Amino acid sequence: MKKAYQKKHLKKKRRSPLRTILFLLLLLVLIILIFLGIAFVKLGNIQTTSLDETQLVTVSEDANMQNYTNYALFGIDSQTGSMSDTGNRSDSIIVVSVNNKTKDVKLLSIYRDTFVSINGQYNKINAAYSWGGPVLAVSTINRNLDLNIEKYATVNFQIMADLVNALGGIEMDIDSSILDNLNDYIGDMNRINGGDSPEIPAAGTYTLDGNQAVAYSRIRYTAGGDLARAGRQREVLQKIFEKGKRSPLKLMSAMDDVLPQIKTNMDRSELFRMLLSVFRYDIIDQQGFPWDQKEMKYNGTYYGFPTTLEENAVRAHEYLFGTSNYQVSDELGRINQKIINRVGS
């Protein structure tokens, strides 16, 4: 009798496979909700600063742009870690274009030495951020490429290093032609960010830590100059994005350090909606603007002159939005002609 009772008792306690699955699903949902709740709270640490819409210039003549959301990403050349809206040139300028339906992402670097109109004054495009902060920098991109960007995010050197470190490094192929410059910049980044990241001893494939990755993205005085550097910046950004998608928990661990270093005009709800879609985002292409340019000295300073700005803007619309034979705005046409008058066609 005792044995029979024990068997019956054990049978009652046995959990069915369906109940086990439901329990695990509920546990998973709870973990996800906790994760998202923590993320939503932490997003409040981002510096949200609205743009003065009365000063912001946008151009919306390309009807295809309504199917995309465009952002400006600025990496400022701050040796002290300052995030001031003025006084810091934008060392990196990247247009991020997101297809609203597919969530496919295209990146377009704008070379920092590109000669453009900054509210009627002609200079390197990276000066716009220094002169008037994000509102002037975004307006300058819109004026010279006929874009409708209203959202921006600004970061400095430290945030990229923190992200790479949180992810356990990123794998990069190092060519011997950049080795000396890379090691010089690694020493520079150790001074700016702190740390003792080692030099790279020889060409090969390495897992770069934060300071090494930032140093790699800053290399300029090698073959290709600013064009090659912009390509390396996009390469590092894509590596971070791809590894971050595979390691969301590692990114969560870095949020307390990283988020306060971001300045944007997107509010927490908008950022949270983007976070919910992050696994749908896919960077499908990355290129540099202008495609055709010539480097030459003008009034004692070297610039990158688009040949021509109008043709490069047309190509930008085809690349980003699939627009064939885009007709540039009257203002962009005038800017293009003024550049030609200054330096010749």
pLDDT tens profile 201-248:
999 999 999 999 989 988 876 766 677 777 888 888 888 888 877 877
Integer Cα distance of 142 and 152 in angstroms? 12
Cite the beta strand spans of 63-193 per DSSP E: 68-76, 90-99, 104-110, 115-118, 121-124, 151-155, 170-174
Give the residue extent of every domain in the chain: 2-44, 46-345
Residue 108 or 23, more confident = 108
* DSSP code string of 183-251: HHHHHHHHHHH---PPPP-SSEEEEE-HHHHHHHHH--SSTTHHHHHHHHHHHHHHHHHHHHHH-HHHH
Integer Cα distance of 54 and 186 in angstroms? 42
- Check: CB of residue 217 under 8 Å from CB of residue 243: no
Q: Spell out the CATH class of 46-345.
A: alpha beta
Query: If pLDDT is split at 50, 70 and 90, which confidence band does 7 have?
Result: very low
CA distances from 15 to 19, 22, 23, 104 (A): 7, 11, 10, 44
Integer Cα distance of 137 and 111 in angstroms? 13
Report the range of poorest mean pLDDT among 130-139, 185-194, 258-267, 297-306.
258-267
17-47 tens-digit pLDDT: 555 555 555 555 554 444 555 555 566 667 7
Integer Cα distance of 276 and 206 in angstroms? 32
Which residues are CB-neighbours of 291 under 8 A, at least 6 positions away? 312, 315
Q: Indicate whether 274 pLDDT > 80.
A: no
DSSP type of residue 260: G
Integer Cα distance of 103 and 106 in angstroms? 10
Integer Cα distance of 23 and 279 in angstroms? 25
- Check: CB of residue 261 under 8 Å from CB of residue 155: yes
